[in-house]
Amino acid sequence: MALRDTQEPAPPTPQKLEFSAAEIGALAHLYRGEVYRSTAWRTRLDSTTNWAVVTTGIALSATFSSAEASPLPMVLVGLIVSVFLLFEARRYRYFNVWRARTRLLETDFYAPMIRGEGIRLGAGWTELLAKDYCEPRYHVSFARAIGRRLRRTYAWIFGIQAVAYYGKLAIHPAPLTTLADLWQRAAIGPIPGGLVVVAGVLFHGAWAVLALVTYRIEIASRRERRSLIAMG
């Protein structure tokens, strides 16, 4: 006669609800590391911004050095600053990874601790942070990164360049009197002045459209997220 196994299944292991002192210490060190990395990449962002400001200043000095000076440096510096913007957008995508992790630890780990609420493992931020370490990825697209840097910094630089360029055409070598004079002053070698002016308007208009479109994408992304526990 066969005997039945009367052994009862082992009770499920209770889910851990709090961090131990050692784990809290490890998270503190992790936070310090993320702050260091975000600070290092923030410095790299400042470097490209400084390059853009310095080159714009050099172009302004060359363009307004005399009444006979060519406005061409303001055209060329716009292209150079565009390259700096692309460099900075790429760097911003890296910076945003470390910044988002640091901010998440501040709002969901340290802030509850300071309020006396304690640290709980059941909150969604732990899964979000763990997934970001296990599956690292950029939190914003390249276009959104360009849009953010445009709205924060480069829109002002491009605006100064545009005002300086058209101001140069209007006052040098003498105050502008007719539209024909504008086309003549704007001409670059065999390129007609009207084409140069239209290209400049399209150039700055394209950056303005990109800044606006990416801003609307940012707003839509925040509405879809519907949660304060998020990264990016």
Query: Where do the domains of the chain lie?
Result: 21-225
The confidence score (pLDDT) of residue 6 equals 47
Does residue 2 carry a pLDDT above 70?
no
More confident residue, 195 or 1: 195
Residues 6 or more apart whose Cβ sits within 8 Å of residue 108: 123, 125, 229
pTM of the model: 0.86
Does residue 224 carry a pLDDT above 60?
yes
Does residue 11 carry a pLDDT above 80?
no
Does residue 3 carry a pLDDT above 50?
no
Mean pLDDT calculated for residue range 19-46: 92
Does residue 166 carry a pLDDT above 50?
yes
- Is 158 within 8 Å of 49 (Cβ atoms)? no
Where do the H-state alpha helices sit in the chain? 21-63, 72-105, 111-114, 124-134, 142-149, 155-171, 179-186, 193-225
Q: Which of 8-12, 27-31, 86-90 has the lowest mean pLDDT?
A: 8-12
Does residue 158 carry a pLDDT above 60?
yes
DSSP SS3 for 96 = helix
Does residue 175 carry a pLDDT above 80?
yes
145 CB neighbour count, 10 Å cutoff: 24
The angle, 0 to 180 degrees and rounded to 10, between the axes of the packed helices 155-171 and 193-225 is: 160
**R_g over Cα of the chain:** 28
- Is 60 within 8 Å of 185 (Cβ atoms)? no
Tokens of 218: 């940012």
215 CB neighbour count, 10 Å cutoff: 15
pLDDT level of residue 230 (50, 70, 90 thresholds): low
Tokens of 47: 């470097």
Does residue 97 carry a pLDDT above 50?
yes
The confidence score (pLDDT) of residue 222 equals 82
Does residue 123 carry a pLDDT above 80?
no
Per-residue CA distances from 155 to 23, 83, 149, 220 (Å)? 44, 14, 8, 22
Rounded Cα–Cα distance for residues 45 and 41 (Å): 6
